Amino acid sequence: MPNFNKYLQNDEELLEIIYSIKSVLYFKFVFATIIFLIPFFFMIPILSLGVKGIVLALLIITLALFYAFKSYTKWAYNCIALTEKKLYRFYQEGLFKKGIKEFYLDNIDEIDIEYRGFISKVFRVGDLVIYLKNNKYVDLDDVADIKSVKNRIWELAS
């Protein structure tokens, strides 16, 4: 888990970190596990290919582990951190490129909630889109209990 306190200024205290829901991460882990297990289910045909088959099996296993690691690091770093004065948007693109955008809570113009379908509305999981006064926006996908998160940000902004 990253330490987000090192990105804050000296007079700021971290109040809350908002992540995407973990079920999306779990789905990616299940997918990576299935890919990881494919060479073991087809062990006899793979071994009949000889060295090429072993290299192929190792490549598939390595790709599955890489996908799982990439999914976790992207989930762990993609979040919104709230302080009393600012909103920080941490994001990761690729494996090594990380970025931070910071905005004063006074600059928030509007907060929208977007649902992707009926099931996401039933489980109160939606996308949070925060529009700023300078015509920019900050977003985070698949946030649980989205209405309370929206209300919490409005409380801090006013």
Torsion of CA 40, 46, 50, 55, to 10 degrees: -70
pTM over 0.75: no
Q: 104-113 long-range contacts, Cβ below 8 Å, gap at least 24? A: 105/153, 105/156, 105/157, 106/157, 107/132, 107/133, 107/134, 108/132, 108/133, 108/153, 108/154, 108/157, 109/133, 111/150, 111/153, 111/154, 113/146, 113/147, 113/150
Check if the beta carbon of residue 7 is closer than 8 Å to that of residue 88. Answer: yes
In CATH terms, 13-21+78-157 corresponds, of 2.30.29.30, 3.30.70.100, 3.40.640.10, 2.40.128.20, to 2.30.29.30
Joined together, the tokens standing for residue 157 give 């902004």
In the chain, DSSP finds a helix count (H) and a strand count (E) of 5, 7
Q: What is the pLDDT of residues 36-58, one digit of tens each?
A: 999 989 988 888 999 999 999 99
Q: What percent of the chain has pLDDT above 90?
A: 18
Domain boundaries, the chain: 13-21+78-157, 26-73
Q: What is the pLDDT of residues 67-90, one digit of tens each?
A: 998 888 888 888 888 888 888 888
Residue type, 106: D
- Structure confidence at residue 61 (pLDDT): 94
Give the SS3 label for residue 101.
strand
Check if the beta carbon of residue 79 is closer than 8 Å to that of residue 140. Answer: yes
Q: Residue 4's pLDDT band (boundaries 50, 70, 90)?
A: confident
Q: What is the C-alpha radius of gyration for the chain, rounded to an integer number of angstroms?
A: 20
Q: What percent of the chain has pLDDT above 70?
A: 98
- Structure confidence at residue 1 (pLDDT): 47
